[in-house]
Structure formats: structure tokens, C-alpha cells
Amino acid sequence: MESNARRLVAIVDDDPSVLRALGRLVRSLGFDAETHASAEALLERVVAAPPDAVLLDLHLPGLRGPDAIHALRHRSTRARIIVVTGLDHPGAREACLAAGAAAYLAKPVGRDELAALLCAAEPERFL
């Protein structure tokens, strides 16, 4: 990829309003955004168009949480996975980080916090 190519962030959430809001936020930070209503939908696409980062809702119908992270890691080891949740529960943060998530954020996601996480990826992730 060329050094000036825009980086792709996949956003996975079952709430259409959250998908729209996060999509706008990600684009305002200078990234391309692709939205998916389920982890399964992203998994169907990830091999053909691997994202540089994934914003993954913790509570999705079907595949979710650490299981979704493991499935993404199996198909795309380079994506930086950032879990976002509006309904935190004990042990969820630890389980997601142990499964391979780079970060765990509470909704609503702050612009500065998200920018720092997306830009803090190791250089080889965003070449």
C-alpha cells in the first residue's frame, strides 16, 4: 500500500445509529470506514478486504465478545481490535484483552481517545 493510502477501520455494531455515528467519527479522523451489523458479516469480508482496525461492539447477536475476537484473529492477525460497549460487565475487559483486543472502551467513544488508539498502532500495521 502507498504511504498516503487511507487506512480502513471496520465498525461492527447491531445499532444502526451507532454505526452511523462511529462511521462519521472515524471518517472525521481521516480514516476510511466500513460498517457491519454483525461479526459474521465482517468475517465474510475480512479476507478479501482486511481492515487495519476494527471497532467491535461487545454485545452483538450471534458471535460476540472474546469469541468474535478469536475468529477475527484467526482470519486477520494484523487488525487492531478495539472493543466498544455500552453495557460493561465484570470480567469482560479482561476476557477481551486476553483474546487479543488492543483496547476496551465504554460508549460513548470520545474523539480524542479513539484517535489516539487508532494512531498508536505499530507502524507495520498501518503501512
Going through 58-126 in order, the beta strands assigned E by DSSP cover: 80-85, 103-106
Task: State mean pLDDT over 2-22.
Answer: 86
Q: Is 21 exposed, middle or buried (0-12, 13-18, 19+ CB in 10 A)?
A: middle
CA angle 75, 67, 54 (to 5 degrees): 55
Element (H, E) at 55: strand 53-57
Q: What is the pLDDT of residues 42-91, one digit of tens each?
A: 999 998 889 999 999 999 999 989 999 999 998 876 899 999 998 888 89
Q: What would be the CATH architecture of the domain defined by 8-119?
A: 3-Layer(aba) Sandwich (3.40)
Has this prediction a pTM greater than 0.85? Answer: yes
Q: How many CB atoms lie within 10 A of CB 98?
A: 11
Q: What is the pLDDT of residues 98-126, one digit of tens each?
A: 999 999 999 999 999 999 999 876 444 44
